[in-house]
């Protein structure tokens, strides 16, 4: 095992090191490893039915890996946790027993190497190319205004998370997710010449823009007051209507259609959309968004096992199977 982080002259493993331990070694008995360092990016405090003692259902992370874990005790989001860890072969999951807990913001040096981070190298050029490919003068102008490299919106977009605990959690997560959705949406719409590609691409690039104000920037990635009171769809519509008002003669018809794509991208009223998709372009963006969110969740779940079944994923409501060719 290669230690990734040094504290007070001693090396400690982070999550990426720990999950490299071969699963057959973990499964030989209840696996107990040396103490590690973890960043808690999501935590829900619960009580054990048997003893009544408190524990935290948490999402813990380092720069490149994330897993669900049970932490014995009450731990807040954004904590840096130095802990013993145990791997249960029965539940195929980790539990953490804290040795010390500190507020992550008190150690920016550790946060820099522990904060979950998505590799978006080259994505700026991809975004610029996508914007230039838009034929509609008004939609292209809107995208250039929203993604103005000197503007606050763009600066926040580069660093924003796409979610608080389910998919693409971390710095750059929103950028990574947005480009993935745009690529998927273009691939899907290429099968249907009747679909307006400009509207699909614009909707895909802007569908989650409200998330720049929905979550904090880390280390906890919690909901902001705006995020709780309005949600990212409403915030996104506000951002876009303000931008469109600054573009002379922006067609009201185009505004109506684009805002429908944004409003309906969750696909159903029970999932937070005020309307359901009612034009082909909105259907394409919805499914591209759903595919990318679910696939990232599944891939993250499978990344911590060598083969066989994951534990049940609460977001998607099922286990997933990792197979390999013989």
CATH number at residue 290: 1.10.3210
Same domain, 40 and 95: yes
Q: 2: pLDDT confidence band, cut at 50, 70 and 90?
A: very low
**314 assigned to some structural domain:** no
pLDDT of 324 higher than 50:
yes
pLDDT score at 42: 81
Same domain, 264 and 173: yes
Q: Which two tokens stand for residue 101?
A: 């807990």
**178 assigned to some structural domain:** yes
Provide the 3-class DSSP secondary structure of residue 314: coil
Same domain, 110 and 127: no
Mean pLDDT of all residues in 67-88: 85
Q: How far is CA 16 from CA 54, 65, 182, 196, in A?
A: 27, 6, 29, 43
Phi-psi region of 317 (alpha: psi -120 to 50; beta: other; left: phi over 0): left
Nearest-5° angle of CA 68, CA 72, CA 75?
A: 75
What would the pLDDT profile of 255-299 be if each residue is shown by its tens digit?
999 999 999 999 888 887 899 999 999 999 999 999 999 998 888
**316 assigned to some structural domain:** no
Same domain, 150 and 250: yes
pLDDT score at 63: 82
Q: 25: pLDDT confidence band, cut at 50, 70 and 90?
A: low
Domain that holds residue 218: 123-300
Number of Cβ atoms within 10 Å of the Cβ of 68 = 19
Same domain, 294 and 275: yes
Least confident of 113-122, 193-202, 257-266: 113-122
Distance, C-alpha 297 to centroid of its chain: 9
**What is the number of structural domains in the chain?**
2
pLDDT score at 1: 37
Q: Which two tokens stand for residue 209?
A: 């823009």
Mean pLDDT of all residues in 122-129: 96
Q: Alpha-carbon distance 223 to 43, whole Å?
A: 13
pLDDT score at 117: 83
Looking from the CA of 310 toward its CB, the CA atoms found within 13 Å total 21
pLDDT score at 30: 55
Q: What is the DSSP letter of 192?
A: -
- For 10-56, where are the alpha helices, taking DSSP H only? 15-18, 23-27
Find all residues with CB under 8 Å of 220, minimum gap 6, and list them: 40, 41, 42, 76, 77, 78, 104
**323 assigned to some structural domain:** no
Same domain, 100 and 131: no
Q: Give the residue, 190 or 57, on which the prediction is more confident.
A: 190
pLDDT score at 234: 95
- For the chain, where are the alpha helices, taking DSSP H only? 15-18, 23-27, 108-114, 123-132, 137-146, 152-159, 173-189, 197-206, 225-245, 252-263, 280-302
Find all residues with CB under 8 Å of 170, minimum gap 6, and list them: 41, 61, 66, 115, 116, 117, 118, 161, 218, 221
Here the CATH number for the domain that contains residue 41 is 2.40.50
Mean pLDDT of all residues in 170-198: 95
Same domain, 241 and 259: yes
Residue found under tokens 């995020």: 227
115, 140, 157 — which closes off a domain? Answer: 115
């Amino acid at each position: 095992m290669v230690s990734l982080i040094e504290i007070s002259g001693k090396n400690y493993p982070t999550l990426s090191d720990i999950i490299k331990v071969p699963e057959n070694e973990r499964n030989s008995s209840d696996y107990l490893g040396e103490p590690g360092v973890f960043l808690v990016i999501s935590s829900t405090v619960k009580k054990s039915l048997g003893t009544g003692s408190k524990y935290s259902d948490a999402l813990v992370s380092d720069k490149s890996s994330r897993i669900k874990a049970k932490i014995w005790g009450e731990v807040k989001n954004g904590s840096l946790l130095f802990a013993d860890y145990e791997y249960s072969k029965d539940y195929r999951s980790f539990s953490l027993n804290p040795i010390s807990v500190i507020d992550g913001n008190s150690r920016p040096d550790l946060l820099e190497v522990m904060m979950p981070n998505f590799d978006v190298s080259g994505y700026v050029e991809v975004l610029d190319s996508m914007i230039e490919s838009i034929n509609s003068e008004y939609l292209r102008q809107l995208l250039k205004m929203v993604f103005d490299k000197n503007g606050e919106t763009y600066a926040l977009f580069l660093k924003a998370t796409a979610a608080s605990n389910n998919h693409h959690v971390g710095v750059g997560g929103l950028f990574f997710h947005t480009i993935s959705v745009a690529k998927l949406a273009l691939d899907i719409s290429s099968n249907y010449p009747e679909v307006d590609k400009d509207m699909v691409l614009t909707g895909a690039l802007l569908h989650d823009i409200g998330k720049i104000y929905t979550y904090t920037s880390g280390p906890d990635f919690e909901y902001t007051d705006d995020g709780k009171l309005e949600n990212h769809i409403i915030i996104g519509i506000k951002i876009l209507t303000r931008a469109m008002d600054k573009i002379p003669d922006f067609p009201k018809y185009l505004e109506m259609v684009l805002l429908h794509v944004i409003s309906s991208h969750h696909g159903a009223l029970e999932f937070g959309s005020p309307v359901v998709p009612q034009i082909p372009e909105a259907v394409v963006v919805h499914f591209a968004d759903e595919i990318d969110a679910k696939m990232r969740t599944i891939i993250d779940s499978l990344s911590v096992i060598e083969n066989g079944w994951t534990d049940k994923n609460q977001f998607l409501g099922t286990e997933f199977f990792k197979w390999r060719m013989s």
